[in-house]
Amino acid sequence: MKTGQAYFIEESCFIIEDDLVMKTTEETRVFVADDHAAVREGIRNLLNRAPGIVVVGEASNGLETIQQVGKLDPDVLVLDVEMPGLTGIDVTRRLRQTDSSVRVLILSAYDDQEYVLELLENGASGYLVKGESPERIVEAVRGIANDEKGWISPQIAEKLDRMKKTPSRDSTLTFVEMDILRSLRAGFSFEEIARRLGVPASKVDDQVKILLLKLGTRSWQEALEVATRAGWV
């Protein structure tokens, strides 16, 4: 009978068999970012047990993640979506803006298609839910380190496929425009939205003008009413 060791990520128990993963000749350096210590420990133990993979650091919030990734230069960042300060979306966007070479694997409890699309649009190489098997997480880290795309959980891929088959009016809006609408609904000013996006306030103003033309509205308040009634935000 095979022997194994159990690791826990939130409510999931990961059983890692001794011969689960094949050996590799090159070491893949991984950074883990999640605001739950127990989750980070589970991921760290899982990946460190896999031959050829080493976890070089971890962080509990978005700002620390960006700082440490810049210092440690890992090959792969395993990143949660919801974290204090900067979210996973913010982190992914900022890393892309700085031309960081790290490849991002999202590992989240959320399977919302808007999260997925925005993260993939901003450079994430894969998106797995935390209920995935340990084998698939290890395989995804290896694959993404080799610049492979398409590491997406089946349930998420199914949602994206359904969305493609049933286009709606909001499909004409870009991810940035949808983000601006959500931010306006949350009460953020143009200046605050600009800081979140890392762009000048004039850029946000230009985006809003384009958004108004697409929706046929005269003000951002009216555009927000249209988007809210349609259930887009």
Which parts of the chain have pLDDT scores under 70? 1-25, 113-114, 159-172
DSSP state of 12: E
What is the spatial distance between Cα 135 and Cα 112, in angstroms, rounded to a whole number? Answer: 23
Residue 39: the pLDDT is 94
What is the spatial distance between Cα 138 and Cα 174, in angstroms, rounded to a whole number? Answer: 32
Residue 22: the pLDDT is 41
Residue 162: the pLDDT is 57
Task: Measure the CA angle with vertex 199, ends 193 and 204; round to 5°.
Answer: 55
- Which residue(s) pair with 58 in the sheet? 32
Radius of gyration of the chain (CA): 19
2 phi and psi angles, rounded to 5 deg:
-70, 150
Residue 178: the pLDDT is 86
Q: What are the structure tokens assigned to 2, written together?
A: 């095979």
Strand ranges inside 122-191, DSSP E: 126-129, 151-152
Among residues 180, 225, 224, 186, the alpha carbon closest in space to that of 205 is found at 180
Among residues 33, 36, 34, 41, the alpha carbon closest in space to that of 14 is found at 41
Q: With a threshold of 0.75, does the pTM exceed it?
A: no
Residue 24: the pLDDT is 41
Residue 74: the pLDDT is 97
* Structural domains of the chain, with CATH: 4-163 (3.40.50.2300), 169-229 (1.10.10.10)
